[in-house]
């Protein structure tokens, strides 16, 4: 059986969507002949190194020379180009997975599939955006386009891969077969024990936080800890200083924290891993919004694989699979006083406690290694794929 994974997302690169496509398609190739059709101008940053005859990748570049052409290419022309690529391939009697939150791209692909015979198509759904994810919220037309996509087009599929239980419940209610596919990654050989003896503790946030994290609260908490004499450095990877200034006035509102923050911007995955090796904790606070309840941060398990201990809000699926004071420190609510009190309890823990939790975090992450995951879930996965 052939399987086609079609996405308008960047593949493969250090961003979360690219990482998901990378490892899911590797896992699919254990069972199917897999072809990936996706878009990226930086495919060499994290390309599949293994020789895998069951996995073919068609990376289509986006126009970079003109902003208007780039936007047209990304939101409209990419769908037409993917359609033309599909016409050249033998896409019949196959299973087709679509990963996109671009309604135009999805409509073009679904229209293209009408001319192909006996296909079963599945949506890979990793977001359930709410108004907080869009500039101007309810007044942004993109919010309503996404709601149409989520509530109507995704539901037309023969099946859905859901990243969270919240998303799975939505489609079960609609009578659509669904299977939870959490974020997957490839376990590293990082075996060095974290050095928690050092006075300065390294905190990291990796990814794009805007519309997800309560940054104002996070920055306020870290500022108060610095004012109380705790030694820490905050590392931000995945977004630029300009972005943080634009959304939070970071340098103006949090000058003390800025002096103790290193901002890397976007990094290739190999460089990001070198930073992970030096980190002690990952830290983020999420509000109880619809999108956060239906999410599982893809970078989280990757960081835990390097022995990084999460300090995070008890929101979403990750809070259900992590164990408080065993492989993570979970924050019960976003009350500033209780968070500070919780942080002071955490930072006063013994070096042995930190060392054990770091080991436990790495051990817990291994269940999301794409090879381990498939071995454990192969029967259920195959049953789902065979029955749609």
Answer with the residue of higher pLDDT: 52 or 7.
7
Domain spans of the chain, in order of start = 2-186+370-387, 201-367
**Topology, domain 2-186+370-387:** Rossmann fold (3.40.50)
Compute the average pLDDT of residues 206-235: 95
pLDDT of the residue at 190: 60
pLDDT of 107 strictly over 90: yes
CA separation for the pair 177, 300 (Å, rounded):
27
Say yes or no: do domains 2-186+370-387 and 201-367 share a fold.
Answer: yes
| Residue 204 token pair | 């990291």
Segment of 45-54, 134-143, 370-379 carrying the highest mean pLDDT: 370-379
Which residue intervals of 192-347 are DSSP H helices? 215-227, 241-248, 250-253, 255-259, 269-276, 290-293, 298-304, 317-321, 336-347
Buried b / exposed e over 94-104, threshold 16 CB at 10 Å, is bbbbbbbbbbb
Q: What is the CA radius of gyration of the chain?
A: 21
CA separation for the pair 341, 338 (Å, rounded):
5
With cut-offs at 50, 70 and 90, classify the pLDDT of residue 44: very low
pLDDT of the residue at 95: 92
pLDDT of the residue at 180: 95
Residue pLDDT, tens place only, 170-219: 999 999 999 999 999 888 766 677 788 888 999 999 988 988 899 999 99
In degrees and rounded to multiples of 5, residue 10 shows phi and psi of: -70, 130
With cut-offs at 50, 70 and 90, classify the pLDDT of residue 139: very high
CB 171 within 8 A of CB 203: no
pLDDT of the residue at 13: 58
Say which CATH architecture domain 201-367 belongs to: 3-Layer(aba) Sandwich (3.40)
pLDDT of the residue at 146: 95
pTM, whole model, 2 decimals?
0.88
Express as a percent the part of the chain with pLDDT over 90.
59
Residue pLDDT, tens place only, 365-386: 999 999 999 999 999 999 999 9
The residue count for the chain? 388
C-alpha distances (whole Å) from 98 to each of 50, 107, 169, 224 are 24, 11, 19, 45
The sign of the torsion formed by the CA atoms of 84, 86, 92, 95 equals negative
Residue pLDDT, tens place only, 319-369: 888 999 999 999 998 999 999 999 999 999 999 999 999 999 999 999 999
For the chain, the helix, strand and coil percentages under 3-state DSSP, each to the nearest 5: 45, 20, 35
CA separation for the pair 161, 37 (Å, rounded):
18
pLDDT of 225 strictly over 80: yes
């Amino acid at each position: 059986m052939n399987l086609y994974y079609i996405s308008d997302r960047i593949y493969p690169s250090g961003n979360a969507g690219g990482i998901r496509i990378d490892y899911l398609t590797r896992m699919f190739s254990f069972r199917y002949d897999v072809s990936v059709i996706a878009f990226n101008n930086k495919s060499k940053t994290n390309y599949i190194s293994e020789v895998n005859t069951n996995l073919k990748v068609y990376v289509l570049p986006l126009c970079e020379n003109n902003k208007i052409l780039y936007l047209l290419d990304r939101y409209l022309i990419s769908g037409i180009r993917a359609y033309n690529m599909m016409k050249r391939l033998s896409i019949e009697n196959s299973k087709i997975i679509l990963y996109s939150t671009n309604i135009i791209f999805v409509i073009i692909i679904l229209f293209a599939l009408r001319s192909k015979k006996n296909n079963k198509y599945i949506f890979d759904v990793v977001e359930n955006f709410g108004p907080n994810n869009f500039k101007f919220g309810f007044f942004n037309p993109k919010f309503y386009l996404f709601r149409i996509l989520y509530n109507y087009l995704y539901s037309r599929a023969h099946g859905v891969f859901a990243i969270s239980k919240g998303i799975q419940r939505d489609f079960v209610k609609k009578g659509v077969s669904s299977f939870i596919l959490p974020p997957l990654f490839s376990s590293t050989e990082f075996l060095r024990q974290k050095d928690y003896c050092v006075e300065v503790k390294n905190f990291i946030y990796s990814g794009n936080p805007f519309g997800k994290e309560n940054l104002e609260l996070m920055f306020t908490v870290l500022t108060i800890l610095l004012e109380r004499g705790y030694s820490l450095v905050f590392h931000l990877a995945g977004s630029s200083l300009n972005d943080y200034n634009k959304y939070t006035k970071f340098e103006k509102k949090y000058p003390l924290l800025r002096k103790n923050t290193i901002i890397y911007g976007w990094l290739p995955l190999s460089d990001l891993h070198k930073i992970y090796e030096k980190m002690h904790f990952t830290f983020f606070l999420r509000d109880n919004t619809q999108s956060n309840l239906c999410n599982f941060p893809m970078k989280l398990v990757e960081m835990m694989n390097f022995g990084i201990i999460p300090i995070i809000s008890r929101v979403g699926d990750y809070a259900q699979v992590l164990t408080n004071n065993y492989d993570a420190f979970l924050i019960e609510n976003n009350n500033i006083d209780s968070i500070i009190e919780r942080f002071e309890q955490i930072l006063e823990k013994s070096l042995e406690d930190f060392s054990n939790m770091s080991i436990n975090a790495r051990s817990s992450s291994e269940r999301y290694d794409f090879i381990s995951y498939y071995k454990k879930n192969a029967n259920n996965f195959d049953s789902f794929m065979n029955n749609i």
